[in-house]
Amino acid sequence: MAEPPQLSVFWCRSWQFIALIALVWLIAARVFGPSDLWDQTQPKTVSYTTDIVVNHHWVLPVERGLYPATKPPLYNWVAAPFVKAMGFSSEIAHKMPSLIALFLCWALLMQLVRKIDHRHRGALGPLAAIALVACYPVFKLGYLARPDMLLTLICFVGWLVAVRILLRARNDSFRPTAGSRLLAFSFWICVALAALTKGPAAILLPIAAFSMSRVLTGRWLARGALAWRWGLPLCLIIAGSWIFAVWLVNPEHLREELWFNEFYGRVMGTGPEGRGGGFVGWITSLGHMPGYFMIRFAPWSVGALAALFALCSRKFRDSFSEVDREHLLPWIQAAVVYVVVVIVLFSLSTGKRADYLAPALPPAALLASWWMLSAKPYLGVRIPWAGPLIAIISLGAMTYINEQEKIAPKEGFGDSIMEFARTANHIIAAKPAPIVCWDVGASHLQAMVGCSVVDGKEQVHQQLLAGEPFWLLAGQSPSTPFRFQTLLTIDNSAGQLTFQTESDRLPRDAVWPEVVRLFRVEPLTVQQTE
């Protein structure tokens, strides 16, 4: 049988440089592009982090003093030190966990195949890293204040550790060693961290490890290597400690929100996150997750799918050299199993979102890269500029669309809010005092100025009665014009307002006022008012 073509040294080195350029491009496009901190559920995440920094609610942070967190707090625990150091109005600080996770996923892909890719001089890793950063989900999630990218990193590390454990366990005479126990401990810590990041999604890792054990070792479970007997209880103790702490703080929220709405209702379709439809809705939406994978990860998803079909050919597998069959093929098989498990597992939920597939993307990028280099027609070898060209086109298109702000209420919407928050924080820092919000709306603006209290008139009156100066962040709408000197009076106490600054005109909708203004309020005594 003829030897497959080899990639030249020039392209091997070029891909490493291009992978770095692709990563820098993505980060620059998102960091210096329009702010999207208002989009999706990011205002909740930002509010939780601010509440941790301001009120030290580490177990169950609260959004704007009213709504307890709907996700475990690991993302916010990681973000809190950066927000504390860089300021509440630093967007990059609030998104730092996602940014770090993006970089580490990229770096792990770059380094993973150096010891296992003998055929192509380690080029498999750089091409996989290029595919990872040049796809839409990572372009979006890599700089988003949501836990998806952090979960992707934790699950990717857990997958890497699980594969190494199972490869060690292929020998029938396997006996646990200090090194294998450390690997097993690391795996179960990843499971626990995944649970603290996005709750029940952590089940992905044990199920994937269980499935891979049959493929890689020929035995289900591989109990001696994966250490289920002590590893699973360890994981349950760590994750269960947070659940128990939430129960102590707010048992009703644990039962109604975290259990019913976020888990049971989402899976069964009976809660607000389940998209409705019940069993019928689950059946009719079974094709959504595979469809999301093919569309959102395109065009690399085509290569990942082709890799799956290529591995189904025994003749193709037998064409591998002894070295590749020993070192590379098991990783490719494990990647296939992992991606399939992710797609199937999240298809079992009635509520389906494309973001749920994020943990599958690093191994899927590895599959696409491997197919381009190792399977006919050897596109990555015969047309070595094809991968970089696809990445350039993809990143260019995503950058252009991101700059257009098509989903924003108006052009420059997010940036204008950020600029107002920075200006307000600068003014507040000169004369520190409590901050109160009044009709600012269901937004992240409160969190960006370091405020984590209930929005409303009652809070303003409480501050007036306290007799101390404070800052008032007030929204104004055409239908409810402010007459502060009349409204800011209660029990013979009043406040003298000094206007400081205001935001740009905001688009009117159900949750945003027309404009937000910052006032300095100096409480007046009864004698002063007379």
Can you tell me the distance from the alpha carbon of 211 to that of 336, in angstroms, rounded to the nearest whole number? Answer: 11
Most confident of 19-28, 168-177, 267-276: 19-28
**295, 343 contact by CB (below 8 A):** no
**Residue 294 clears pLDDT 70, i.e. is over it:** yes
Compute the half-sphere exposure of residue 178: CA atoms within 13 Å on the CB side of its CA.
0
Phi, psi for residue 502 in degrees, rounded to 5: -145, 160
Domain coordinates in residue numbering, the chain: 95-401, 413-529
Compute the half-sphere exposure of residue 82: CA atoms within 13 Å on the CB side of its CA.
20
CA-based radius of gyration for the chain: 26
pTM: 0.91
- As a residue count, the chain comes to 530
Amino acid, res. 312: C
List pLDDT tens digits, range 422-461: 999 999 999 999 999 888 887 889 999 998 888 887 888 8
pLDDT score at 86: 95
Can you tell me the distance from the alpha carbon of 422 to that of 357, in angstroms, rounded to the nearest whole number? Answer: 35
To the nearest whole percent, how much of the chain has pLDDT over 90?
48
List pLDDT tens digits, range 336-392: 999 999 999 988 877 678 888 999 999 999 999 999 988 788 888 888 898 899 999
pLDDT score at 253: 82
**230, 240 contact by CB (below 8 A):** no
**Residue 463 clears pLDDT 90, i.e. is over it:** no
What average pLDDT is seen over the chain?
Answer: 85
Strand partners, 520: 471, 498
3-state secondary structure of 285: coil
Residue 507 carries which DSSP code?
A: P
**408, 34 contact by CB (below 8 A):** yes
To the nearest whole percent, how much of the chain has pLDDT over 70?
86
3-state secondary structure of 62: strand
**Residue 121 clears pLDDT 80, i.e. is over it:** no
Confidence of residue 490 (pLDDT cuts 50, 70, 90): very low
List pLDDT tens digits, range 192-248: 999 999 988 899 999 999 999 888 887 776 767 888 889 999 999 999 999 999 999
Q: Which string of b and e fits 89-127 if b means at least 16 CB within 10 Å?
A: bbbebbbbbbbbbbebbbebbbebbeebbebbebbbbbb
**What DSSP letter does each residue of 452-504 carry, written as one string?**
-S--SHHHHHHHHHHTS-EEEEEEEBTTB---HHHHSEETTEEEEEEEEEEPP
Confidence of residue 273 (pLDDT cuts 50, 70, 90): low
pLDDT score at 278: 60
**Residue 408 clears pLDDT 50, i.e. is over it:** yes
Confidence of residue 400 (pLDDT cuts 50, 70, 90): very high
pLDDT score at 113: 73
3-state secondary structure of 183: helix
pLDDT score at 274: 56
Paired tokens of 417: 């809010």
**59, 45 contact by CB (below 8 A):** no
Can you tell me the distance from the alpha carbon of 147 to that of 359, in angstroms, rounded to the nearest whole number? Answer: 11
For the segment 28-33, the average pLDDT, to the nearest whole number, is 95
Confidence of residue 475 (pLDDT cuts 50, 70, 90): confident
**Residue 8 clears pLDDT 60, i.e. is over it:** yes
Phi, psi for residue 503 in degrees, rounded to 5: -80, 170
Confidence of residue 528 (pLDDT cuts 50, 70, 90): very low
Instruction: Determine how many CB atoms are found less than 10 A away from the CB of residue 432.
Output: 9
pLDDT score at 224: 72
**Residue 258 clears pLDDT 90, i.e. is over it:** no
Confidence of residue 492 (pLDDT cuts 50, 70, 90): very low
Can you tell me the distance from the alpha carbon of 201 to that of 395, in angstroms, rounded to the nearest whole number? Answer: 29
For the segment 485-496, the average pLDDT, to the nearest whole number, is 55
For the segment 273-278, the average pLDDT, to the nearest whole number, is 58
List pLDDT tens digits, range 147-165: 999 999 999 999 999 999 9
**Residue 135 clears pLDDT 70, i.e. is over it:** yes
List pLDDT tens digits, range 46-72: 999 999 999 999 999 999 888 899 899
Instruction: Determine how many CB atoms are found less than 10 A away from the CB of residue 325.
Output: 13
Strand partners, 501: 518
For the segment 165-177, the average pLDDT, to the nearest whole number, is 76
pLDDT score at 269: 59
Can you tell me the distance from the alpha carbon of 109 to that of 366, in angstroms, rounded to the nearest whole number? Answer: 8
Amino acid, res. 90: S
List pLDDT tens digits, range 503-515: 888 876 656 788 8
pLDDT score at 439: 84
pLDDT score at 430: 92
Q: Which string of b and e fits 242-256 if b means at least 16 CB within 10 Å?
A: bbeebbeebeebbee
List pLDDT tens digits, range 298-341: 999 999 999 988 887 777 766 676 766 777 888 999 999 999 99
Can you tell me the distance from the alpha carbon of 70 to that of 67, in angstroms, rounded to the nearest whole number? Answer: 9
